[in-house]
Copies of this chain bind each other. A is one copy, B any other.
Amino acid sequence: MTTRVARVSTTPRAGARARNRRGEGGLLRDEIVAAAAVILAEAGTEEAVTLRAVARQAGISAPSIYSHFPHRQAILLAVVKDAFTDLARHLHESLGDRTEPTARLLAVCDGYLDFAASSPHRYRVMFGGVWNASAAMASASVSPDDVGELGQDTLGLIAACLRRCVEAGGSTSTDVEADAVALWLGLHGLAHQRTASAAFPWPGDIQQRIVVPLAHLVHERARRD
C-alpha cells in the first residue's frame, strides 16, 4: 500500500476553460495564482501546491504555467504576496469608520486574528519561510523583498494605531515602534499557534490578555464604539 493519492487525470477537465483572447494572456497569471490558493486552502500544505496540481485546478496544461512563472517556487511566492495584500486590505476594512484610538487598535488586532483564523493554511505559508527558502533564486515576477515590504505595511498600520492611542492617552507606551513589533509578535504567536492546535483549551480572554499588556493600554475595558 502506498500513501500517495490516487491517480488523477493529468489533463485539464474537459471544457473547463476557454482560451484567452489575443493580448489577454496575462489573465491566466491571476487564474494560476488563484488556483494555487485554492489548493493550499483545501490540501493545507505547501507541498500539495505542485505545478501539475495547479495546472489541473486551473484547467490548463502544466507547461502553460511557464509562460507566466519561471518555476514552481515563483507561484508560491506570488500566492504569498497576494496574501499580504489581502491582509493589508482586511486590516483597513476592519478599521471601518472608527475614530476612537483604542477602538481602532483593538479592531486591527481583531482583524489580524480574524484573517489568520479564516484562512489558516494560507497564514502559515505567509510566515512559513517561503521567501527565505527562495531568497537565493531570482524570480522575474515577485521578489522576496516585495514580500518583506508588504509585511512592513501591516506592522506600520499597527504602529500608527498604537501611536494614536499614546497621543490620546490610551496607551502608556514610551517606544511606539518597538512596542508595535512586540504587539505584532504576540498577535502572530496566537494566530500561528491557533492554526496548529485549534483543540487546545485557549483561555477565553486570551486575545485581550496578549493585546492589552503589549500595547500598554490604560483602560482594560476599552469602549468599542
Interface of A with B (CB < 8 Å)?
3, 44-45, 47, 71-73, 124, 127-129, 132-133, 148, 175, 177-179, 181-182, 184-190, 192-193, 195-197, 202-203, 205-206, 209-210, 213-214, 216
Contacts and interface: CB of A to CB of B under 8 A. Distances in A.
Chief secondary structure at chain A's binding surface: helix
A73 B177 CA distance: 42
Contacts of A193: 127, 185, 188
B210 A182 contact: yes
A133 B197 CA distance: 11
A185 B214 contact: no
A210 B214 contact: yes
A72 B3 CA distance: 9
A195 B148 CA distance: 15
Nearest to A137: B3
A65 to B, nearest CB: 14
A93 to B, nearest CB: 24
Contacts of A71: 3
Contacts of A216: 213
Contact of A185 (B3, B177, B190, B195): B190
Given A71-B3, A178-B205, A209-B179, A189 B185 contact: yes
